[in-house]
Amino acid sequence: MDQQNHSTPQAMGVAASVTYPAAAAAPYQAAYQHLYHQQQQQQQQQLQIFWADQYREIEQTTDFKNHNLPLARIKKIMKADEDVRMIAAEAPVVFARACEMFILELTHRGWAHAEENKRRTLQKNDIAAAITRTDVFDFLVDIVPREEGRDEAVPRAIPGGPVDPLYYYVPQ
């Protein structure tokens, strides 16, 4: 990127100090062109900065979309639990977004497993693996069952995980 900033004040100074004798069209024109180019460059820079910021914002806020999940459906799911009676109007809004964040988290961890196994397709067992590996997903252990011994890659020892290395069965 052109570093024109340092020259800008100078240029403005130069432009400002140019005198405009009534009959001297040429220096006036030169000054004008100079100013014009300066402005063009500034605008270019500003545009560049603007678009760089926009792009960065898009990358950062890709996760922050509008509420995709329909609030009515979420309410219905909540009320499938008979214990749940009254729900404030704002609650499904929070649920929708929380649910989305949950899906994103699960996707990320599932993806990591697929990557480890060099696959381009995210499979059910990737999700099962993510659930097994992540403590906060313990509540899902029965929902997406892990098929027996179906991990392609040798499982890494997870610190603090339930597997005790001393007793981990290694088939001979």
Residues of this chain that interact with another protein (CB under 8 A) are 62-64, 67-70, 73-81, 83-91, 93-95, 97-104, 106-108, 110-111, 114-115, 120-124, 126-128, 131, 135-136, 139-140, 143-144
Q: Closer to another protein by CB, 34 or 97: give it.
A: 97
Shortest separation between residue 20's beta carbon and another protein, angstroms: 44
Q: Closer to another protein by CB, 24 or 78: give it.
A: 78
Our measurement of the distance from residue 99's CA atom to the centroid of its chain's CA atoms, rounded to an integer in Å, reads: 16
Q: DSSP letter for 141, please.
A: T
What is the distance between the alpha carbons of residues 60 and 63, in angstroms, rounded to a whole number?
Answer: 7
Q: Closer to another protein by CB, 108 or 150: give it.
A: 108
Q: Closer to another protein by CB, 37 or 119: give it.
A: 119
Q: Closer to another protein by CB, 22 or 86: give it.
A: 86
DSSP string, 50-81: HHHHHHHHHHHTTT-----S-HHHHHHHHHTS
Shortest separation between residue 50's beta carbon and another protein, angstroms: 21
Shortest separation between residue 161's beta carbon and another protein, angstroms: 16
Shortest separation between residue 102's beta carbon and another protein, angstroms: 5
Query: In angstroms, how far is the first alpha carbon of the chain from the final one?
Result: 61
Q: DSSP letter for 31, please.
A: H
**Counting Cβ atoms within 10 Å, is residue 122 exposed (0-12), middle (13-18) or buried (19+)?**
middle
